[in-house]
A and B are shown apart, each in its own frame.
Chain A
């Protein structure tokens, strides 16, 4: 009996149903989660500033959250394009200012106004060395705005995404320092509009949270210091940033600081 049973068992071995099969291996345990990376002081000092600067619409939302019921869009005014012989620093800062104005007014301006601002941004990027791909995206967007195919929330979303997601990807194709100076123009316009809104509203309790950004000022000072162009704009840019540096070095900001920020940013913007 026993030999027959073993023969039967041996016959079943090829089917995998015999005696002595090794047990199935346990399911593979998931890899242990890695602890968060520890950053050194050197890591922090070398951090990439590409995401450092708040966006114009972000500044608007922060202003609203601070209880200042002022529309930054209502404070935007048209600015003529720089002359054909303007240096690239001026073109970059101007382009940033108009880009901020475009983003802030996208839901309230007329198609013609929006198209005009897109055109100014386009012209600025042409002078800053943008390639055909970047320019085509702007041209296509402008056409859709002007023929009524793109408006409202959809327009705001596309402009926002273009400025925040696609523009940074074009940085390597622009002239040196172009995109950081575009960011500077946008941020300085935002700071000017925010400080002006606070002055008009007589509300300064949110000043520290809205305007105290010393790391941003440091970043733009480093960018501005790289310029060798001895222009009036360059001198004013450095002067404005010095005021902002001194102002934002204080632990808290009040009415006096907000007025200083408004005045110093306006002193630069009028030169554009």
Chain B
């Protein structure tokens, strides 16, 4: 059945989308494990399903002087994921470089406080579809 689906999708002119949060979580876990080799530890990882331009906002506490590496991963249903970090008032501090489905934001606060992270589905592989996106906060 799966082979037929692949062939059908190729015949229709595109690779099949392996949508789902499971794929995003797997992608995220691979990045987290890679990060451990560089001294990053994970605080929390989470995933969600988003449609075009939909977003999710996370509140995060960041410690003064600790380095943070915030990751996001989109599944094959996405062609661009937006990732940004904001201060407690909702002002943008850092925006991940545009394009791609594995954006990263790095930040070291000069005071402990509450910050916010937004993850947005900026471009879908298939119009009208929904896709899985994961986000993780890592630190060292």
User: Chain A residues in contact with chain B, CB under 8 A?
Assistant: 30-31, 33-41, 43-44, 46-55, 57-58, 61-62, 65, 157, 160-161, 164-165, 168-169, 208-210, 212-216
Contact = CB atoms under 8 A, between A and B. Distances in A.
A213 B115 CA distance: 11
In terms of DSSP, what is the predominant structure of the interface of chain B? strand
Interface stretch (B7-15, B116-124, B125-133): B116-124
Interface of B: 25, 28-29, 32-33, 36, 41-47, 55-61, 63-66, 80, 82, 84, 86, 90, 92, 95, 97-99, 111-112, 114, 116-118, 120, 122-123, 135-137, 139-140
6 contacts: A30-B99, A38-B90, A43-B90, A44-B90, A49-B59, A214-B114
A140 B86 CA distance: 40
Given A161-B33, A212-B112, A51 B98 contact: no
Q: 4 smallest A-B Cβ distances: which pairs?
A: A33-B98, A164-B42, A47-B59, A39-B90
B139 A61 contact: yes
Contacts of B140: 61
Contact of A36 (B29, B45, B82): B82
Given A51-B46, A62-B66, A164 B59 contact: no
Contacts of B90: 38-41, 43-44
Contacts of A58: 41, 43, 63, 66, 139
Contact of B112 (A33, A37, A213): A213
A44 B114 CA distance: 11
Contacts of A30: 99
